[in-house]
Structure 1
Amino acid sequence: MKRTELKADEYHPYYSPYMEILGDAELMEALSSSATELEELIIDLPREKMSYSYAEGKWTVAEILLHLIDAERVFQYRALRFARKDMTDLPGFEQDDYVKYSNAEKRTKKDILEEFKAVRSSSLNLFGSFSEDTLLQKGTANQSYMSVRALGFVLSGHVRHHMKIIRERYLD
């Protein structure tokens, strides 16, 4: 299924930039390629760049990567709940608090990348297991309606969004 097949009622407009950055991508390919692209961006990054922040109060590269891992886990959980037709309204999460307690400064680049690859592998397995009907299931999280398939695209677009920020604000 392609990103352009999503309907406007399948995700909150907040996620539109994540969707648009994917163009006409296919779900499983977007999940796979965004992970590969992130690894290629980070693998040769000098160690000192992992603790770099371009401005006061902005996250470091390590914190961004751990944010991606945390968000991936949250969105996986939402996708699983919606796929299983659990209609419980799920709460949001405060990303800044998650980052604050991530212990990013104590983690190595290798360790963080290995964790990201493991979590993304889990996402690939999860979304690969869903039927077309399951991908259409919807639920509510953070007071917003969302489909399972939209969550998969959000995962990919979220990574690409942060890669763009890293390139523009951290690598120049």
Structure 2
Amino acid sequence: MEIVQLSNNEFHTYYKGYIERALNKPLLQGLAEGMLETHEFFDAIPEAKQEYRYKEGKWTPKEILLHLIDTERVFAYRALQFARAKNVEIRGFDQDEFVENSNANERTMQHLLEEYLAVRTAQIILFSSFSEQTLQHTGIASNSPLSVRAAGYIICGHEKHHIAIVNERYL
């Protein structure tokens, strides 16, 4: 896979910032490098900061990591649906409800990181199985168009976005 330019009809404008953070390299490279960077970043968070909230109602670093895992699963499922079927429409998900019911803070950071690595490894394999043509397939997610490749780039950029927030507000 090469570096691509996505057209604006491949994703909702909400995701533009995530995609811009990730389009500087081929998708599979971004997924692989992101896996290493994200693992190293969260693994280095001191235990005293892993359940820290910089403000009432904000997520902890553990919750953010599990949010990344959950969101990756959601976008990979969307990509798989759009790659394999036609005329697919998938409803959105409530990220706050997912985090609220995640029990992330009851788990160790190591366990969360093991899950992250397993999920990311699966996505690298999944996206590597798609042809260039399949990567351009689209469907509807959360009432907006989404291409298979845009879903992959959103995964990459989304984690960069949250790492920046954790760096800025938590550490």
Q: TM class by shorter-chain length?
A: over 0.9
Check the 8 A contact 1:91/1:141 in 2, yes or no.
yes
The question of whether the paired residues in 1 share the 8 Å contact of 2:22 and 2:154 is answered with no
The amino acid that maps onto 2:44 is D
Deviations 1:84-122 (A, max 9, x none): 124231000000000000001210000000000000001
Query: Tell me, what secondary structure is at the counterpart of 2:22?
Result: coil
Residue pairs, 1:25-64, within 5 angstroms? 25-64=25-64
Aligned to 1:17: 17
Q: Provide the residue aligned with 1:94 in structure 2.
A: 94
Give CA deviations for 1:18-46 in whole Å, capped at 9, x if unaligned: 01112421110111111111111111211
Structure 1 range deviating more: 86-95 or 109-118: 86-95
Aligned length: 171
1:36-92 Cα distance to aligned partner (Å, 9 max, x none): 111111112111211001101100000000101110111111000000124231000
Q: Percent identity?
A: 47
Cα distance in 2, alignment partners of residues 95 and 167 from structure 1: 21
Point out 4+ residue stretches in structure 1 off by more than 6 angstroms.
none
The answer to whether the Cα contact below 8 Å between 1:3 and 1:19 also exists between their aligned partners in 2 is no
- 5+ long unaligned stretches in structure 1: none
| Corresponding position of 1:158 | 158
Q: Letter of the aligned partner of 2:106 in structure 1?
A: K
SS in structure 2 at match of 1:24: coil
CA RMSD, aligned part only? 1.1
Q: TM-score, normalised by structure 1?
A: 0.96
Q: So what's the TM-score if we normalise by structure 2?
A: 0.96
The equivalent of 1:170 in structure 2 is 170
In the other structure, the counterpart of 2:107 is: 107
Task: Tell me what 1:69 maps to.
Answer: 69
